[in-house]
Each structure stands twice: as structure tokens, then as C-alpha cells.
Amino acid sequence: DAEITQSPRHKITETGRQVTLACHQTWNHNNMFWYRQDLGHGLRLIHYSYGVQDTNKGEVSDGYSVSRSNTEDLPLTLESAASSQTSVYFCASSRGTTGELFFGEGSRLTVL
């Protein structure tokens, strides 16, 4: 079955370190997204991509970057981790223009 996987599922890091969260989907979807989930805020969009070599900033993109070199992968990089980036991160993908989002299981990041 097609799926979307995230790694690592749990990560503890220190302030100032670079962190990369991986996202891999086998749905062959063109559209991929990164969200963060925080209590009281629901899900907020960090970055999104509509295809290879296409990346765009979302609502809360400061301190984050993404790259899209193939259809399957959209890694999220925190250039210099900050305590405010402690959160649960979800990758998602979708097809078409009205389709629902398919989410990964999430990556819990703690920045000490």
C-alpha cells in the first residue's frame, strides 16, 4: 500500500544545532506540505511544494527550509534550532486540486 513516512519519530536536540526531518511518500503525489502542531493553534503550514524544484513559504516559515529534488521526498531543515521550534511536525501530501491531505505519523522534536 502507498504511504507517507516520517523520520525520526522522536528527536531531542540542542539550541543552535541543525536538524533535518525526513518525509517520504509513495503515493506519487505532486503536492507535499509540512505543518507543525501546537496546543491551542491547531496545524500551521510551514512550507509546501507543488512539484519537483518547487518550494513555497507557508504561514510560519521563519527558521525552516525545504528542498524538493524528487517527487517522493520533502525534507524539512531547521538551520539553527530554537526552543520555540519544539513541536510535533507533520508531513502531508495530496493529489489534484480538491483532494484531501494524507498525513504522516508525525515527528516530535524537542529543542533544549
Partner 1 sequence: AQSVAQPEDQVNVAEGNPLTVKCTYSVSGNPYLFWYVQYPNRGLQFLLKYITGDNLVKGSYGFEAEFNKSQTSFHLKKPSALVSDSALYFCAVRDESGGYQKVTFGTGTKLQVIP
Kindly list the residues in this chain that would bind partner 1 in the complex (CB under 8 A): 4, 31, 33, 40-45, 48, 50, 56, 58, 90, 92, 94, 97-98, 100-106
The grid coordinates of residue 34 equal 509540512
Residues shown for the chain: 112
Nearer to partner 1 by Cβ, of 18 and 64: the residue is: 64
Please choose, from the candidates 60, 4, 10, the residue with its C-alpha nearest in 3D space to the C-alpha of residue 32.
4
Min separation Cβ 33 and partner 1, Å: 7
Query: Cell 516530535, residue?
Result: 108
Strand partners, 5: 24
Min separation Cβ 89 and partner 1, Å: 11
CA 64 – CA 77 distance, rounded (Å): 6
Nearer to partner 1 by Cβ, of 53 and 98: the residue is: 98
Min separation Cβ 16 and partner 1, Å: 28
